[in-house]
Amino acid sequence: MNDIGVPPPGYRLPPSAHIGRVRLQIGDLSQSVAYYETVLGFRTLHRSEGSATLTAANDNTALIELCQRHGVARMPRRGLIGLYHFAVLLPNRASLGQFLLHLSAIGIQPGMADHLVSEALYLTDPDGLGVEVYADRPRESWTSAGGQREIATKPLDTESLVESAGSERWTGPPAGTRIGHVHFHVGDLEEAAAFYHAAMGLDKTVWGYPGALFMAAGGYHHHVAVNTWAAGARLANDDDARLLDWELVLPDSRSAESAAKSIESAGFAVDRIDGCVTATDPWGIRARLHVFQRTSGVSPALRAGA
């Protein structure tokens, strides 16, 4: 994997770094919970008057937190600077085939794409927020050219995907499901690279895709992608349905604090409040630096220096 991608100039995230929970601001909690349970098959792990935490069907790992704010505007079709989509990674192709059959049965037509490294279905939630559900192809089948991982957008072979489903029916995301990556609309790719690559410590993996940059840790195809496809759009704000923050999961507190210091020394905002460490990119997109814990459920954020 050493000949793939471009490592950051300074601090480099450990290979085990990955995406954790995403926290979304939505307008109607009951409507959103119903969508995520019925359409995507998530299970509600915790619910209060104004928020709900969702998990896979047979798992207690928090994946999505919905936070209600009455009156927020739906994400416009063209998008805002901020979340483009978050991506739910299923553990195998059969599950993705079962999910496609489930969507067909309830009358939903998703967007579809073969990205070479993965196969993906695309949905829009009740607030207009983008959701990708995907399965990776075996890592040994991923190809590269010119030092970059090869990623494309090609038609999906739905017949083959449905065949892979076998006789099992979709009962929700199986154990092992996680958030595979996050993808953002940003204002400038070089500024985004300065934050996510040079400061946060992600490798560049794909930089030749039109208007986009893909970055990852540990040789993955991408944990974070950014694009300028919504050029000229305004920033998402408190009055919009939007991403509130996302978790970058790190193996230990030393790695988390090293990442925080690298981001801070590059001149970007890092906040330490009540033991929670957040880093904010040039467009206000916030990452929570989180230490992996084997206990399940709603996990606390990193305690700096712990």
Residues of the chain with pLDDT under 70: 1-2, 293-306
Structure-block tokens of residue 214 = 């893909």
Q: Strand order in 130-136's β-sheet?
A: 111-114, 118-124, 130-136, 82-90, 178-185, 224-227, 212-216, 203-206
CB neighbours (10 Å) of residue 244? 19
* Distance of alpha carbon 13 from alpha carbon 256, whole angstroms: 9
Confidence (pLDDT) at 4 = 87
Confidence (pLDDT) at 109 = 97
Confidence (pLDDT) at 133 = 98
Nearest to 63 by CA among 304, 302, 296: 296
Confidence (pLDDT) at 113 = 98
Q: Strand order in 269-273's β-sheet?
A: 43-47, 51-55, 64-68, 18-26, 242-250, 286-291, 276-280, 269-273
Confidence (pLDDT) at 2 = 52
Confidence (pLDDT) at 292 = 80
* Distance of alpha carbon 67 from alpha carbon 278, whole angstroms: 18
CA 113 and chain centroid, separation: 17
Confidence (pLDDT) at 276 = 82
